[in-house]
């Protein structure tokens, strides 16, 4: 087996190997079927590059992630404030009206402050009933001094998140990352795949060579 690296994108096979491959290609009848040597059309190459970029960008954990407890911490603080509690316990209005007003008051207050969680709050809206259920759990965690970003809100439960980002000192961070080792593996996997396929097809005669199918067929 011989390899030529002088023009790697033209052909990785020697002239003799290419001549032999061309001879077999033209003289062999594979059950009555012939094959051409066309390259992948350029628009399709573009489509494949777009596919890879889409695959990487669309699957970031940012999209479709579970809400973490930190995004609701301010909701809980405001819900427990005197001002909101007063509305929630107002006997002059109906229960539903009280809930609606209290939630509106919380959201209006939150709108006045910049927050790193604005996007995630819009992704995971919450109502007062669910807030009431998760609030005691969030308060307990705050008392314990843990990082709320390491806890996910799943239905009525606030649970330790399922992320295992091992730090250099051996500790495990459970905050959802924007990048994780799954992406690193995916990038390397793709690079190795591209290299493998490029080597495979570049061992064939160059695509400018057109086989003559009249010889064997």
Partner 1 sequence: MLKYLFAKEDDIPQGSAGLFFAVSAICWFIIGTGLGSFNAAKLAFPDWYHGIYALQFGHMRQVHVHAVIFGWIAMAFAASMMYITPTLGNTKLWSEKLGVWNCLLYNIGLCLALALLWSGLTSGREYSDHIWPVDLYIAFVMVIPWGVNVWMTILNRRTQGIYTTNWFFAACVFMTAIVFLVGNLPEFFHLTGLNEAYMTWWFAHNILGLLITPVAAAITYYIVPKITGNPLYSHRVGHLHFWSIVVFYSTPAAHHLMSSPLPEWLKSFASVEGVLILVPAVAYVCNILLTMQGKWSMFVSNIEIKFTITGVLLAIPLNMQGGFQQTRAINWYIHGTGWIVAHAHLALLGFSTFAEAAGVYYGIQVLLRRKLYSASLANFHFWMLLIGFSLYWTSMTIAGLIQGAAKIYEVPYVDVVIAEHPYMIVRWLGGTMVFFGNIIWLYNMVMTARAGSIVPVGRQPVEVAYTR
Binding site for partner 1 (CB under 8 A): 24-25, 28-41, 44, 47-48, 51-52, 54-56, 58-59, 61, 63-65, 162-164, 176, 180-183, 185-186, 189-190, 193, 196-197, 200-201, 204, 207, 211, 213
Q: Quick one: 24 or 83, whose CB is closer to partner 1?
A: 24
Q: Quick one: 65 or 77, whose CB is closer to partner 1?
A: 65
Q: Quick one: 59 or 80, whose CB is closer to partner 1?
A: 59
Minimum distance between the CB of residue 37 and partner 1, rounded to whole angstroms? Answer: 6
Q: Quick one: 16 or 114, whose CB is closer to partner 1?
A: 16
Q: Quick one: 109 or 183, whose CB is closer to partner 1?
A: 183
* Other CB atoms within 10 A of residue 25 CB: 21
What are the φ/ψ torsions at residue 161 (nearest 5 degrees)? -70, 160
Minimum distance between the CB of residue 112 and partner 1, rounded to whole angstroms? Answer: 30
* Other CB atoms within 10 A of residue 102 CB: 22
* Other CB atoms within 10 A of residue 139 CB: 14
Angle at 54 between CA 52 and CA 57, to 5 degrees: 110
Distance, in Å, from the CA atom of 141 to the CA atom of 155, rounded to the nearest integer, reads 17
Minimum distance between the CB of residue 114 and partner 1, rounded to whole angstroms? Answer: 25
Minimum distance between the CB of residue 151 and partner 1, rounded to whole angstroms? Answer: 14
Minimum distance between the CB of residue 109 and partner 1, rounded to whole angstroms? Answer: 27
| DSSP state letters, 113-174 | S--TTHHHHHHS---HHHHHHHHHHHHHHHHHT--GGGEEEETTEEEE----EE-TTS-EE-
């Amino acid at each position: 087996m011989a390899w030529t690296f002088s023009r790697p994108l033209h052909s990785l096979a020697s002239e003799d190997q290419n001549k032999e491959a061309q001879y077999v290609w033209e003289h062999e009848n594979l059950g009555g079927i012939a094959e051409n040597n066309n390259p992948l059309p350029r628009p399709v190459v573009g489509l494949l590059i777009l596919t890879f970029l889409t695959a990487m960008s669309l699957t970031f954990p940012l999209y479709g992630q579970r809400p973490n407890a930190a995004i609701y911490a301010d909701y809980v603080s405001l819900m427990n404030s005197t001002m909101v509690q007063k509305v929630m316990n107002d006997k002059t209005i109906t229960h539903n009206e009280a809930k609606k007003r209290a939630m509106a008051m919380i959201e209006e207050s939150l709108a006045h402050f910049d927050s790193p969680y604005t996007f995630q709050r819009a992704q995971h809206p919450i109502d007062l009933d669910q807030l009431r259920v998760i609030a005691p759990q969030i308060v307990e965690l705050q008392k314990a001094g843990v990082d709320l970003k390491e806890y996910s809100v799943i239905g009525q439960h606030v649970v330790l998140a399922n992320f295992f980002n091992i730090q250099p000192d051996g500790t495990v961070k459970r905050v959802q990352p924007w990048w994780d080792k799954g992406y690193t593996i995916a990038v390397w996997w793709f690079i190795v795949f591209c290299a493998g396929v490029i080597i495979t097809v570049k061992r064939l005669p160059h695509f400018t060579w057109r086989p003559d199918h009249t010889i064997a067929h």
